[in-house]
Amino acid sequence: MRTICLRRALRFALLAAVLFGVTCCSTRAQQEEAVSPQKRSERSTIVFMTDFGTANDAVAICKAVILGIAPDVRLTDITHQVTPFQIEEAARFLAGVTPYYPAGTIFLVVVDPGVGTSRKAMVVKSKKGQYFVLPDNGIITPVIERDGLQSAREITNRSWMISDAISSTFHGRDIFSPAAARLATGWDFNEAGPEVSELVRLQLKTSVMNARGIDGDVLGLDDPYGSLITDVRGDDFKKLGYNLGDKVTVRIGAKSVAVPYVKTFMGVAVGESLLYIDSRGRVGIAVNQGNYATKYNIVPPVKIFIPRKGSVATSKTKQ
């Protein structure tokens, strides 16, 4: 009998120890979650874009700052080859990429010709739930016009910046990179600094459709191919009456050119020009397996006009 009682006592003691251990582990996990809010969510992603290029150490330094603060962050790039100082180009790239990332993604953009001036360093949250760490110079304009602005904060809290002295010329390292890393580790967006109700906005170029046709702009090049990127929407172009296979007379700057409207590059012979609707739903002009901008000396920005089908063209040059 005494042996049976002893065995029962040992079982109860073992069960109590197990239950006590589970309770302690659960309590400890809850405490850790309270201290580290980022552990409640998936690993954060920072998407990085600059005009720094790749011939210097600037991008590597910014990434080192980020990883020093948030070693587990998922860090990827849009490009570091934005044409230097071209805010509009950076805005176009950013707007093209963001739809493919989920809510909670942090976009770090440093195209900042006004570095060291009174322009604000910002953390912006869109209504889609994405975060943007960037200068207040208009880069965010097309994203906010499409997705909506939820809130914006000026980065003034020094604990969000690098611990060393702040440079007047490298805020990518000293302010933007550490701020993005703080967000990635779960710091409260609202603690970055005071709320800003009005952001700097770009005057975005948009094509205009009228009785004659469509007036627009060549906004940039699809490098390295040299294809022309325009602001002419494909849906508007289709209202001009053209069918696949038609020759379209287009005025680019002061010169008129005739190009076939085709579905894809191989719709024309190698070395021939074409007009097509690109992957973003805009009119593009290219050379099949060639560089249109180089071949015809096109340097954006430049005006473009596409007439309605049947309009008489002047000074037409076949390409």
Residue 138's nearest CA partner among 97, 199, 66 is 199
> Which residues of the chain are modeled with pLDDT < 50?
1-2, 4, 6, 15, 17-41, 313-319
Structural domain includes residue 142 = yes
| Domain harbouring 224, CATH code | 2.40.30.90
Structural domain boundaries enclosing 125: 38-191
Structural domain includes residue 256 = yes
Structural domain includes residue 201 = no
Question: Per the structure block, which two tokens stand in for 74?
Answer: 């998922």
Residues 176 and 89 in one domain: yes
Residues 171 and 249 in one domain: no
Structural domain includes residue 167 = yes
Structural domain includes residue 164 = yes
Cβ atoms of residues 151 and 127 within 8 Å: no
Structural domain includes residue 21 = no
User: What total number of domains does the chain contain?
Assistant: 2
Amino acid at 203: Q
> What is the predicted pLDDT for the residue at 226?
95
| Domain harbouring 164, CATH code | 3.40.50.10790
Task: List the strands of the sheet with 106-110, edge to edge.
Answer: 74-77, 45-50, 106-110, 131-135, 121-126, 149-154
**Alpha helices, DSSP H only, in the chain?**
2-35, 58-69, 87-97, 141-147, 171, 177-184, 234-238, 292-296
Write b or e for each residue in 188-206: b if 16 or more Cβ atoms lie within 10 A of its Cβ, otherwise e: eeeebbeebeebbebeeee
